[in-house]
Amino acid sequence: MNNLLSIFKALSDKNRIRILLMLSKKKLCVCEIQDILGVTVSTVSKHLSILRDIGFIADEKEGKWVNYSLNTASKDIVLNQIILILPFYLNDDELIQSDFEKVNTVCRKDLCNV
Amino acid sequence: MNNLLSIFKALSDKNRIRILLMLSKKKLCVCEIQDILGVTVSTVSKHLSILRDIGFIADEKEGKWVNYSLNTASKDIVLNQIILILPFYLNDDELIQSDFEKVNTVCRKDLCNV
DNA sequence: GTATAATTTCGCTAAGTAACGAAATGAGAT
DNA sequence: ATCTCATTTCGTTACTTAGCGAAATTATAC
């Protein structure tokens, strides 16, 4: 029950939903997600830790960066179903479409090393 | 997006999950649900209004009482999927099993008219 | 080894929400 | 028509949580 509640609580935030859908398109690092969401790095990091703890996403080091990716191989029924359903539900959403465009053009090297 | 968020927020509460699963077994009135959950009537009423507004449940008058029932015919993809998945996920949950037993024995006439 | 840069953690504030009791509502029963 | 009783709404309190900036951490690159 508590596990299930954690899943729904994790999904009760607009920015976390946006992150999940971004990651369904492409692996991203924290600073790229920050750029797209328009919130501070610490806030993004907090959201990512919530999504990671549940098993929605996975992280992996690549040079200086940590790449986050969607975990499509979860054994959890609810997690799997949610990840399948989300795109059908939100592909037409204006904000999500705008996020998708940014995902394609975002460049971590421009964002950092200022 | 906001619709989806409302759905997940509605599901982010233990008592609302319990209510949904109770109603999957039997139609219940507010005072019966109150007895099983062990919270005040006003709290139950608030939970029910949240679930009703989204379309998870429906209400219907019967004499003095309002019967609440699970809306299994929702056109919403997420709502439908959630209602299908919840039992698989929680049938083994201790609290839910205890709720199910109480659902079978609860009697609204004993609860009211004290 | 030290410097650099991305990420995480910490302390705080503001907004949101579950719970309660009391008052208001509304429909059935007399 | 009035009374009764289930239910809803209102006002309040306590708790949770998203967001921020600063400090701490971690690991790469020189």
- Are A26 and A103 within 8 A, CB to CB? yes
Q: Residue A80 has what pLDDT? A: 85
Q: Residue A52 has what pLDDT? A: 94
Q: Residue B53 has what pLDDT? A: 93
* Sequence ranges of the domains in chain B: 2-105
Residue A114 has pLDDT above 50, yes or no: no
Q: Which nucleotide has the least CA–C1' distance to A40?
A: D20
Which residue is it, tokens 């037409």? A92
Q: What average pLDDT does range A16-31 have in this prediction?
A: 94
Q: What average pLDDT does range B30-47 have in this prediction?
A: 95
Residue B15 has pLDDT above 70, yes or no: yes
- The model's confidence at residue B113, banded by pLDDT at 50, 70 and 90, is low
Q: A17 vs A110, which has greater pLDDT? A: A17
Among B74, B1, B65, residue whose Cα is nearest residue B28: B65
* Fold held by B2-105: Arc Repressor Mutant, subunit A (1.10.10)
Residue B49 has pLDDT above 80, yes or no: yes
Give me the half-sphere count of Cα atoms (radius 13 Å) on the Cβ side of residue A111: 17
Local structure of A72: helix, strand or coil: coil
Determine which of A85, A90, A96 to mutate to test the interface with B (most B C-beta atoms within 10 Å).
Answer: A85
Among B8, B104, B2, residue whose Cα is nearest residue B56: B8
Q: Which residues in chain B touch residue A89, judged by CB atoms under 8 angstroms apart?
A: 4, 77-78
CATH number of A2-111: 1.10.10.10
Q: Residue A113 has what pLDDT? A: 57
Taking residue B99's Cβ as centre, other Cβ atoms within 10 Å add up to 20
pLDDT digits (tens, 9 = 90+) for A43-55: 999 999 999 999 9
Q: Residue B42 has what pLDDT? A: 95
Nearest CA distance, B100 vs chain A (angstrom):
15
pLDDT digits (tens, 9 = 90+) for A104-113: 988 777 776 5
Q: Residue B11 has what pLDDT? A: 96
Ramachandran angles phi, psi of A40, nearest 5°: -75, 160
Using CA coordinates, name the residue in chain B closest to A80: B85
Q: What is the dihedral of CA A77, A82, A84, A87, to 10 degrees?
A: 180
3-state SS, one letter per residue, for A27-70: CECHHHHHHHHCCCHHHHHHHHHHHHHHCCEEEEEECCEEEEEE
CA distance A7 to A1: 10
Using CA coordinates, name the residue in chain B closest to A90: B1
Among A8-12, A33-37, B90-94, B98-102, whose mean pLDDT is lowest?
A: B90-94
